[in-house]
Amino acid sequence: MPVSSQSDITRRLVSIANRLRERGVKVGTMEIETALRLYKAAILLSGYNYYPLSRIIDAVFVKRDYEKAILDDVLRSTVGESVERGEEAPSKKKGKAEKKQEKSRAMGGSSLRSRRCLEMLKRYLETENQGYLDMIRDELRIDTRSEVKEYRVGGEIALEKLIARFALNPRDYSALARIALMEGETAILAMRHLSSKRKRRVAEQIASMLAKLSGGRRLRVKGGKWEKTYQRERIDIRRTLILKSRGKIGEVAYRRRRKTANIVLIIDRSDSMRKHADKIVEIASAYLNKASHLVLFSDEVKVTSISSWKSRLYLLDQILDLSFHGYTNITMALRQARRLAKPGSTLVLISDLQQTIKDHSPLKLIEDLGKGGYRIIIYTTKEASRVLGTTLRGDITTISFG
Amino acid sequence: MSEESYRKSYESIVEKVWGIYAEAHPPVQPVRNPEAAHRVLKEKYKLLVDVNLIILVYAAFLDGRPVLFEGPPGTGKTEIGEALLTLWSGREAFVLPCSENYDEYRVIGDFHPLKAYKYGFNEKSFLPKPLLAAMIMDTGVLIDEIRRSNEEFQNLLLDIIDKRRIIVPELRMTFRASGVGFQFIFTSNPEDLAQSELSDAFLRRVVRIKFSYPDPERELEILRLRLSHLDVKVPEEIMSLSVEVVSRLRKEDLLYKPGVSDTVRWMEVSSRIASLKGKTRVDVSDVLEAAKAVLVKRVEDEESVLDIVESMIR
């Protein structure tokens, strides 16, 4: 939509519908959708890129005479003049731009014509009604005997030419695929149309071409064109087609990211932790279902990785059968944990933080990990947590026990 | 039914439809551009229609939605509807004046009793009716005074409009609309007495366009357009006077309020009377004489209508 965006119009329609509902006028979602579709069609048909929205609201939302008075009241009291806000009716005084637009209209208004053709193409893809193709042919003044090669129009030649090609030969799937790539809004409809024609392979080609165009990034339709987002995701063709068959127009499904539970549970089982055995079991069992790795350490480190439900039971056994002995090397355990988990993961450390083996400072390493994108949760004694609270920086949470 | 015999039966029905209805519904040049339609309506059909109304109707057609014209009698609902359907589909539209006992046998198709006795219920005894014919011929349908029909008929129409297909169970056949020409316009006058209400389900599916009496200036413009072909011309002052009279009558508490079509007919009859009297111009006496014949529709209104007309014209 040229002046007011589609979302703006939708917002206004929904707002008016809600006001009418509050006053007892039944306006369903179907009516809002109808109003939006009619508005889009009306501005294309008008040739001025303008049609009074109030007229559409009147035609679609008002079903009985007494409802008209309510609508007038709603428009006056709550929305006021803003129904038509953003849309300028063609004024009688013509500026330079308007004169240019008028000239373009006189010459056939290729941009508007392209959009009209595109709208009809979309409706053809939705309904498979041949009449819309006839209308495209009328609009572009071509008949079935024409050769598209000879067909010349000003302005958006490429798109019109492709639409003309498809209107002349609805089996020209390559033309449809190229239209789909140029105009995002038609892509999903085209894929659905192709899959219904048992041309799933072409539909998949469109999807993979889109995926290629996106460079692996999620695409969204904005103003009819494809726009890349920062998220890197792949299109799920199968689910996109299923969504289409359920009538969810314009929705592209992406492959779900498998969420891995990246929590590493690091437990100090040195001799000094013996007195906190109960607390360790209590805290560790809270993380048991989420943890992907268990790191038990004293002066040596033992790593257990979870691969299935069965190994979770094994993990529980490990925690319940903890034996406390040996010296403490926190730095080595943290280094090991860093190897197991990528930045963004959570490291849960249960320790009194009293390093008894000579190595690099564990606090320095914790701070580095925190700055490096790891989320660190430390369960420690009250005394140690007091010290940590004043020294550590980064995404580090300290919880005291004992 | 094998595919081959189904195809043959289908084709024989299509052929029958074209045989029966093609002559009564000849093709015309389709006009799907609202501005061009506005011009054609004015020049060919002598109808003054707001371009925005045409755009709205065409937008609804483009979306496959039926349109409901609602308003008082004589405001041009039927004429405009028929003309718009004709221009959109490129073929003379079908007009179905509604009645209470309309059902699928009257609008979709029926079986010839004797032929059904002889051949059975098949394509040979089948008689296609207007709605099926319109679908096959890809032509518009104007359903006049929809409020006079029963709810069952309205529901039947909704199903056809929504799905754009007609199922004939006796033939075990499904007919589908093949183009965009098969569109609906309903007309209704909510003020008319002895009519049923339209259901919410029906109203939700249509695009409702309200018609009302035009303002005097526009009505005068319509008169000029519609009376231009008359041999005995109606003077401008008489036309203005007639518009004033009709506007006054609409404000009165009458059982029947005259519409634009009544004003046009009043002036046409006046012109005929003047012509019969051998005059070259219509005068006040012709207008008064015509008023008795055209403007008085109900006995209860006669006295007040004539009083107003005489007091204003004399």
pLDDT in tens, B164-177: 899 998 888 899 88
Half-sphere CA count of B107, side-chain side, radius 13 A: 25
pLDDT value, residue A99: 53
Please count the structural domains in chain A.
3
Q: Are residues B205 and B273 in the same domain?
A: no
Domain finish residue from A66, A84, A102: A84
CB atoms A38 and B30 under 8 Å: no
| Helices (H) then strands (E): counts for chain B | 14, 9
With a CB cutoff of 8 Å and minimum separation 6, the contacts of B231 are B271, B275
B199 and B148 in a common domain? yes
> Which residues from B are below 8 Å from A31, CB to CB?
204
Could you tell me the residue range of the domain that residue A307 belongs to? 263-401
Extended strands (E) in B114-157: 126-128, 141-144
Structural domain includes residue A365: yes
Looking at the domain assignment, is residue A199 inside a domain? yes
A252 within domain boundaries: no
Give the pLDDT of chain A (402 residues) as one tens digit per residue: 444 567 788 888 998 999 899 888 888 888 998 999 899 889 888 877 788 888 999 999 998 888 888 888 888 775 444 555 444 444 444 455 555 555 444 444 557 778 888 888 888 888 888 888 888 888 887 765 555 544 444 444 577 888 888 888 888 887 887 787 777 777 778 877 877 777 777 777 777 766 666 655 556 666 656 666 655 566 676 776 676 666 555 566 777 665 555 889 999 998 888 888 888 888 888 887 788 888 999 988 888 887 666 667 777 787 878 888 888 899 999 999 988 888 888 899 999 888 888 888 888 888 888 888 888 899 988 888 887 777 776 678 888 876
| Boundary (domain end) residue, out of B155, B190, B210 | B210
Cβ within 8 Å, pair B56-A52: no
B194, B210, B226: which is the final residue of a domain? B210
Q: What residues make up the domain containing B268?
A: 216-313
**Confidence at residue A343, expressed as pLDDT on a 0 to 100 scale:** 82
Which residues 6+ apart lie within 8 Å of B23 measured at CB?
none
- pLDDT for residue A95: 55
Which chain B residues touch A45 with a CB distance below 8 Å?
Answer: 33-34, 55, 58-59, 62
Q: What local confidence, expressed as pLDDT, does residue A308 receive?
A: 61
pLDDT tens-digit map of B27-53:
999 898 899 999 999 999 989 999 999
| Contact yes or no for A63 and B204 at CB 8 A | yes
> Is the pTM value of this prediction over 0.90?
no
Indicate whether A305 belongs to any domain: yes
A93 domain-assigned: no
> Are the beta carbons of A119 and B207 separated by less than 8 Å?
no
List residues of chain B with CB under 8 Å from any CB of chain A. Answer: 30, 32-35, 51-52, 55-56, 58-60, 62-65, 138, 164, 177-181, 190, 200, 203-204, 207-210
CA distance B40 to chain A (A): 16
**Domain check: are B205 and B178 in the same one?**
yes
Contact A127 B64 (CB under 8 A): yes
For residues A216 and A114, membership in a common domain is answered with yes
Q: Is B177 in Cβ contact with A59 (below 8 Å)? A: no
Same domain? B30 vs B78: yes
Task: Tell me: do B144 and B244 sit in the same domain.
Answer: no
The C-alpha angle B267, B268, B274, rounded to 5 degrees, equals 90
Give the distance from residue A105's alpha carbon to the nearest chain B alpha carbon, in angstroms.
12
A125 and A15 inside one domain: no
- Whether A67 and chain B come into contact, CB under 8 Å, resolves to no
A255 lies in a domain? no
Q: What is the pLDDT of residue B55?
A: 94
From chain A, the residues in CB contact with B52 under 8 A are 46, 51-52, 55
Q: Is A230 helix (H, G, I), strand (E, B) or coil?
A: strand
Query: How many angstroms away from the CA of A29 is the closest CA of chain B?
Result: 11
Spatial contact of B119 and B125, defined as CB atoms under 8 Å apart: yes
Q: Which of A63, A71, A72, A121 to mutate to test the interface with B (most CBs of B within 10 A)?
A: A63
ipTM attached to this prediction: 0.85
Does B99 share its domain with B181?
yes
The 10 Å Cβ neighbour count of residue B63 is 18
Region label for A86, one of left (φ > 0), alpha (ψ between -120 and 50) or beta (otherwise): left
Same domain assignment for residues B202 and B283: no
pLDDT of A7? 75
Regarding whether A268 and A206 lie in a shared domain, the answer is no
- In which region does residue A292 sit, left (phi positive, over 0), alpha (psi from -120 to 50) or beta (all else)? alpha
Please name the residues in contact with A197: beta carbons below 8 A apart, sequence gap of 6 or more.
none
Please check whether residues A117 and A206 belong to one and the same domain: yes
Examine the domain organization and report whether B119 and B233 are in the same domain. no
Q: Give the minimum alpha-carbon distance from A340 to chain B in angstroms, rounded to a whole number.
A: 58
pLDDT value of position A92: 46
Closest partner residue to A130 (CB to CB) among B56, B58, B179 is B179
Q: Is B146 found in the same domain as B276? A: no
Q: What is the pLDDT of residue A85?
A: 43
Same domain, A268 and A397: yes
**CATH number reported for the structural domain that contains residue B124 in this entry:** 3.40.50.300
* Long-range CB contact pairs, A137-144, < 8 A, 24+: A137/A164, A137/A167, A137/A168, A138/B30, A138/B32, A139/A113, A140/A113, A140/A164, A140/A167, A142/A167, A142/A168, A144/A168
CATH code of the domain containing A364: 3.40.50.410
Residues A160, A276: one domain?
no
**Whether residue B273 is found in the same domain as residue B170:** no
Tell me, yes or no, whether A240 and A276 share the same domain: no
Domain final residue pick, B191, B210, B229 = B210
* Inter-chain touch A38–B204, beta carbons under 8 Å: no
Q: What is the pLDDT of residue A153?
A: 43
Spell out, as residue ranges, where chain B has pLDDT lower than 50.
Answer: none
Cβ atoms B232, B281 nearer than 8 A: yes
pLDDT at A258: 59
